[in-house]
Amino acid sequence: MHQANRSCVCAVYSQGVTFPIDITKTRLQLQGQADFTGSKLGFGGMAMNIAKTEGIGGLYAGCTPAVARHIPYTGFRAIGYEYIRAFFCGDKPKDQAPLLAKMAAGMSAGGIGQAIAVPCDLIKVRMQGDGRLVAAGKLDKPRYTGLFDAFTKIKAAEGMGGFYAGCWPAIQRAALVNLGELTTYDTAKKSIVVYTGDNLLCHLCSAICSGFVASLCSTPADVAKSRIMAQTALPDGTMPYSGTLDCWRKVVANEGPLALYKGFMPGWLRLGPWQLVFWCSYEQLRILSGLGGFK
């Protein structure tokens, strides 16, 4: 099996397992927007509210574009990281890459992969947010019935540019996620493998470290991405946020600095298991196919 296919299969599996946490995280991040009504909820309350008002299927709204997103996104970043890291290493062996080379490779691979996958990410965020608008009486029904219906309607209403609303915060968020994820996994594994060997325990420990650092680095950009992609025009026709910095400024002014970390715990709860499932399965597939573990 080709290396890209292996990484995509692992990513799709990981996304399916953790998706209810992902939609709960997105809904928490959308609390506080100009169109928000109702009482603010925590992680457990939000998950229960989605299930109660939208049914169990509501916890999987937007799952199809989320899965589709990982085909170009993870297919590129998992493989691209190793090649880009080698480029930044120069004459040094890749397993002796300095931290700065790993950081540059992680951010580059994540940002480029997300740039390719932005349309699917935008559709995912909108489908995840529609349920709350229906529950609030602002929509009669969700705007899109599925991935292809969303592509058709967005292109007709907004043109091709509509697929790239919020592309910069999405790319920034992906760069920061991969700065934390790929760099941390690479660095942690190099330290842990000395004591455990290149085995499942090593992969588990490295993935746990990776998930925490990725969440810590990316949550503020994730908040901006979710709000900009899901925003609707105000009564005067203007949009609530003009970009990432404007979003951060308004969030801090209206909701306090900690609002930039809305969804951190569910984000970590999602990224933690996601990293565990992805890296453990990806490593095992590499070993079974004769490529050896990730180095």
Burial per residue of 56-70, b for 16 or more beta-carbon CB atoms within 10 angstroms, e otherwise: eebbbbbbbbbbbbb
Nearest to 135 by CA among 52, 62, 61: 52
- Quick one: pLDDT at residue 252? 93
Q: For residue 165, which phi and psi values (nearest 5 degrees)?
A: -65, 130
Please tell me the distance from the alpha carbon of residue 206 to that of residue 180, in angstroms, as a whole number. 12
CA distance 184 to 271: 13
Q: What tens digit of pLDDT does each residue of 154-189 get?
A: 999 999 998 998 788 889 888 988 888 888 988 999
Low-confidence ranges of the chain (pLDDT < 70): 1-6, 8, 10, 32-38, 95
Q: Are 73 and 117 in contact (CB under 8 A)?
A: yes
Determine the pLDDT at residue 155.
Answer: 93
H or E stretch covering 71:
helix 63-89
pLDDT for position 38: 63
State the DSSP string of 14-55: HHHHHHHHHHHHHHHHHTTSTT--S----HHHHHHHHHHHH-
pLDDT digits (tens, 9 = 90+) for 195-234: 998 888 888 888 888 888 888 888 898 888 888 887 877 7
Predicted TM-score (pTM) of the model is 0.73
Q: What pLDDT score was predicted for residue 149?
A: 93
Two tokens at 4?
């890209």
